[in-house]
Amino acid sequence: MGLFTKDIKTMDDLFVHQLQDIYYAEKQLVKAIPKMADKATDATLKQGFMTHLAETKVHVQRLEQVFEMHGAAVKAVDCPAIDGIIEEAEEVAGEVDDKSVLDAALINAAQAVEHYEITRYGSLVAWAKQLGRNDCAAVLQKTLDEEKATDKKLTTLAESKINLRAAG
């Protein structure tokens, strides 16, 4: 969306641009999630990361499917927001020594990622419907549901044991 890129003129342009943005984000996450899983100590958290990695690979495929359904080229555009969230997660993880505290920090970072995805997919679903692309909306909704479910699981995990252990 910078000075030298093509202007976004229509709602359709905006929809496609946001697809490209989240496509970049999902592909970065396929690389970042295994590193977060490596750092996690709690077995449930580690497994949770691996489960969501598998889902994230499907999110990439679904986006490719939506590009195709919408007749747009499969393309990624840099998304500084997700780069920042991932960078911060790696920085914080590097600064936390205590393994239990690190698990709490990893959950916090993972939830920042999920919330980012939820906002993006929420708009994409709404825009797809507005553009008369209920077929695209249905595919994007599947991913949105998985991001929301992951966020809920992380909250439950944090509140049921990880935060307690980190504080103890």
Name the site residues for Fe ion (rule: CB under 5 A): 56, 59, 117, 147
d(CA 135, CA 120): 18
Which residue lies nearer to Fe ion by CB, 16 or 109?
Answer: 109
DSSP state of 27: H
Q: Answer for the pair 55, 168: CB distance below 8 angstroms, yes or no.
A: no
Q: What is the dihedral of CA 121, 126, 129, 131, to 10 degrees?
A: -100
Which residue lies nearer to Fe ion by CB, 103 or 117?
Answer: 117
Point out the residue whose Cβ comes nearest to Fe ion.
59
Which residue lies nearer to Fe ion by CB, 3 or 54?
Answer: 54
d(CA 80, CA 85): 9
**Shortest Cβ 146–Fe ion spacing (Å):** 7
Which residue lies nearer to Fe ion by CB, 93 or 101?
Answer: 93
Q: Answer for the pair 117, 74: CB distance below 8 angstroms, yes or no.
A: no
**Shortest Cβ 143–Fe ion spacing (Å):** 6
Please list, residue by residue across 122-144, b when 16 or more beta carbons sit within 10 angstroms of its beta carbon and e when fewer do.
Answer: eebbebbeebebeebbebbbebb
Supply 8's token pair.
Answer: 């976004």
**Shortest Cβ 50–Fe ion spacing (Å):** 13
CA angle 114, 119, 125 (to 5 degrees): 115
**Shortest Cβ 7–Fe ion spacing (Å):** 28
**Shortest Cβ 98–Fe ion spacing (Å):** 26
Which residue lies nearer to Fe ion by CB, 142 or 165?
Answer: 142
